[in-house]
Amino acid sequence: MYRFSNTVIGVLNLLSLLASIPIIGAALWKARSSTTCENFLQTPLLVIGFIILLVSLAGFIGACFNVAWALWVYLVVMILLIATLMGLTLFGLVVTSQGGGVEVPGRVYKEYRLGDYHPWLRERVRDQEYWNSIRSCILTSKTCSKIESWTTLDYFQRDMTSVQSGCCKPPTACTYETGVIVGGEDCYKWSNGIETLCYECDACKAGVLEEIRLDWRKLSVVNILVLVLLIAVYAAGCCAFHNTRHAAHPYHPSDDNRMTKVRPRWDYYWWRWWHEKKEQLY
């Protein structure tokens, strides 16, 4: 049983150690990618990946080399990691439960409304300093330049990303009257200037939030899979910790109080003495 549980936790920790590499890689890829300008998911990915890497390494060493203190630290950090990851996953599922695009009649793409998203996300993009950094990123990524050459027919037949739909064109509800664009509040924020467009529109902020929502939903699925693996590893770690302590201290002080053999009752001796006397008489 000792070798079996330690082998299991060694294998599981090796798997979780290998699983941390794609998580770290995904965070680094998102940091270098020009397709997204929201980077607050990159830091949690990096932190989670490196913690899983270090914890798995500690558990692997403790299980394979019978280092009890390493397993003890491993189990404490592991339960904290499981609790933290579970909280972040639940928070992410709640925050991303609202939102989604609205169908536009006669168009392939969707449009997005800021009021459809969770208040916590809305407050982030309403912070002007925070939004300025996202806006600069969108300008640098040249997201809107990809549809500059579209014809009128392209707008009816081709799809757009959520950021292109919200930031690179005026809302479909906007109309022109005597050369002036009219409609909702976003219509008056629109400009043909390449550095202005609809970057200050609520539709643009909603488009960015939609991209965040989709990325976060994917991350939540990964978190659930990692949670299942970590719980399995933690259960095996408890067994390995118990076995490692038992290997280091094979005799527990309480063993002295255990009965080493069964003593016969007093009537057994009386019965034996009586039968011996009867044999002597006869």
Q: What is the pLDDT of residues 40-65, one digit of tens each?
A: 667 777 887 888 888 777 777 766 77
Is the distance from CB of 219 to CB of 41 less than 8 angstroms? yes
Q: What is the predicted pLDDT for the residue at 90?
A: 92
**Residue written as tokens 């902020």?**
205
Band the pLDDT of 282: cuts 50, 70, 90.
Answer: low
Rounded CA-CA distance 83/181 in Å is 52
Rounded CA-CA distance 29/135 in Å is 20
> Comparing 240 with 11, which gets the higher pLDDT?
11
For residue 143, give the DSSP letter. T
The SS3 call for residue 82 is helix
- Rounded to the nearest integer, the mean pLDDT of the chain is 78
Q: How far is CA 238 from the centre of its chain?
A: 24
Is the distance from CB of 37 to CB of 134 less than 8 angstroms? yes
Q: What is the predicted pLDDT for the residue at 169?
A: 92
Q: What is the predicted pLDDT for the residue at 110?
A: 94
pLDDT over threshold 70, residue 224: yes
- Give the Å distances, CA to CA, from 248 to 62, 235, 241, 244, 253: 13, 20, 11, 6, 13
Q: What is the predicted pLDDT for the residue at 274?
A: 63
The tens digit of pLDDT for each residue in 104-134 reads 998 999 999 999 999 999 998 999 988 998 8
Average pLDDT over residues 76-97: 87
Band the pLDDT of 201: cuts 50, 70, 90.
Answer: very high
State the CB neighbour count (10 A cutoff) for residue 179. 5
